Amino acid sequence: MILAIGAGITLVLLLASGNARRKLSSAIPPAMRPMYADDELEGNHLERLMTWGVVLTLFFAIFLPAYWLREPIRAQDKQEGLFARDYSSGEALYAANCTECHGADARGGAALSPYGSDAWPAPNLLNIVSRYEDSRVVTDIRDHIETTLHRGRPGTPMPTWGTNYGGPMTDFQIEAITDWLLVNQEGDATEASPAVNAETGEAVSGEDLYQQNCARCHGTELQGIVGPSLIGVTDRHSDETILGILQNGISIQPGNIMPPWQEAYMYPDSRFDDDALSRIIDYLHEAQPSTLPDDALQYQTPGVGEPVEQPAGDEAEADAEADSDSDSTEV
Ligand code: HEC
Ligand code: HEC
């Protein structure tokens, strides 16, 4: 637009000056034509030329920057269009693949545990940024989400999605879901702490904390499932060491990860304060059998993942409104 007006003005000026000169001249050869007198050349004429020079300079000085100032806005419009397309495909992919466990609104839900015990909580995905905000382990949240999607979480119900790992989703689809999740993050992730009873405000007992949060990996009797047997753990380690393990998580064998309980694993930061963790450790002492098996003092190799037979469960179903029975047989 502006460009066209500029070109038009320049053209008119050029034509006008050409005409004026042609009128003076007709028959006389160019070299003999009368020219402006010195007075006129250095006065009027010079001034006129200079005025036009200034006008044109001003015109370009204003027009060009104005044009370039608009350029980023134009580019951004274009990019927003692309992003909107990405966003809605992320939303659709989420709805088709993730709602059964993470909930229709992505605020968390439950999965069937592959080990037959209780329902396995599937975390809220809309507070994931704030949950990992101060984490020393997860420093790049986009990378964390994409890696989790690509690989899944072996040993948990979270499936593998990336084609590289045998899943059904392309890199592009995983990026689109990640974009959608990141755009929808809710700043404040205050949820009731699982270490405090929401109704009575009382501290949850060490036993309940263990059964609700640890049993799904270590077994209701400490016998070990994806996580190692914890029978003998209080003889293998001092309470201080166990506290450290619980605070920070541990991964001795590659691929075997014990999540850090103070680093926003499933819950917003510091939801298991040292007090709650100490109650769990007290319970680990209480729950030891009276006679330890011979190998109890050695490190217990985790991850054999032998499914625990579950007597037709009542409470398991209450929690897991997830209807799929396929998950319980896989992994
Ligand atoms: C069969 C149930 C199930 C399905 C389907 C599922 N998830 Fe998960 N997801 C889980 C569980 C359970 C966990 C927690 C695993 C654990 O205990 O560490 C999890 C963990 C995650 C995490 C890590 C969260 C954190 O706090 O670190 C992300 C991200 C995630 N899921 C995204 C997705 C997305 C996106 C989809 C859809 C493409 C999806 N999940 C489908 C069950 C599921
Ligand atoms: C997602 C599964 C999972 C959950 C949930 C889990 N753990 Fe673990 N835990 C593991 C794995 C796997 C290891 C072994 C990691 C390794 O190889 O270093 C482990 C290791 C441990 C150890 C060290 C054992 C040793 O002998 O060195 C302790 C103690 C422990 N967990 C306690 C707990 C407690 C208490 C909870 C609940 C607050 C809990 N775990 C929840 C998977 C889990």
Instruction: Residue 83: name the closest of 183, 185, 168 by CA.
Output: 183
* Lowest mean pLDDT, pick from 17-26, 28-37, 232-241: 17-26
Probe residue for ligand 1, chosen from 102, 124, 147, 256 as the CB with the greatest number of ligand atoms within 8 Å: 102
Query: How many CA atoms lie less than 13 Å away from 191 in the CB half-sphere?
Result: 21
Ligand 2 binding pocket (C-beta < 6 A) is 156, 213-214, 216-218, 226-228, 230, 233, 236, 242, 245-246, 250-253, 256-259, 261, 280, 299-300, 302
Q: Is the pLDDT of residue 76 over 60?
A: yes
The percentage of residues in the chain with a pLDDT greater than 70, rounded to a whole number, is: 73
The atom number, within ligand 2, closest to the CA of 261 reads 38
The atom number, within ligand 1, closest to the CA of 324 reads 1
60: enclosing H helix or E strand: helix 46-97
Residue 313 confidence class, pLDDT cut points 50, 70, 90: very low
Question: Cβ atoms within 10 A of the Cβ of 68, count?
Answer: 9
Q: What is the mean pLDDT of residues 275-286?
A: 94
Q: What separation in angstroms does the CA of 36 have from each of 46, 237, 277, 282? A: 11, 106, 100, 108
Q: What is the mean pLDDT of residues 93-100?
A: 91
Residue nearest to atom 27 of ligand 1 (CA): 265
Residue nearest to atom 38 of ligand 2 (CA): 214
Q: Tell me which ligand sits closest to the C-alpha of residue 155.
A: 2
Q: Is the pLDDT of residue 306 over 50?
A: no
Per domain, the residue ranges of the chain are 100-183, 206-307
Probe residue for ligand 1, chosen from 99, 101, 126 as the CB with the greatest number of ligand atoms within 8 Å: 101
Probe residue for ligand 1, chosen from 113, 117, 158, 175 as the CB with the greatest number of ligand atoms within 8 Å: 158
pTM: 0.57
The per-residue pLDDT for range 248-280, each reduced to its tens digit, is: 777 676 556 676 776 556 655 446 888 889 999
The atom number, within ligand 2, closest to the CA of 214 reads 37
The per-residue pLDDT for range 97-143, each reduced to its tens digit, is: 998 888 888 887 777 777 665 567 788 898 888 888 777 777 889 99
User: 199 C-alpha vs ligand 2 centroid, how far in Å?
Assistant: 29
The per-residue pLDDT for range 177-209, each reduced to its tens digit, is: 999 999 999 866 555 567 777 778 788 899 999
Q: What separation in angstroms does the CA of 70 have from each of 1, 2, 67, 77, 81? A: 13, 12, 5, 11, 17
Are 203 and 276 in contact, with CB atoms under 8 Å apart?
Answer: yes
Instruction: Kindly report the CATH number that applies to the domain delimited by 206-307.
Output: 1.10.760.10
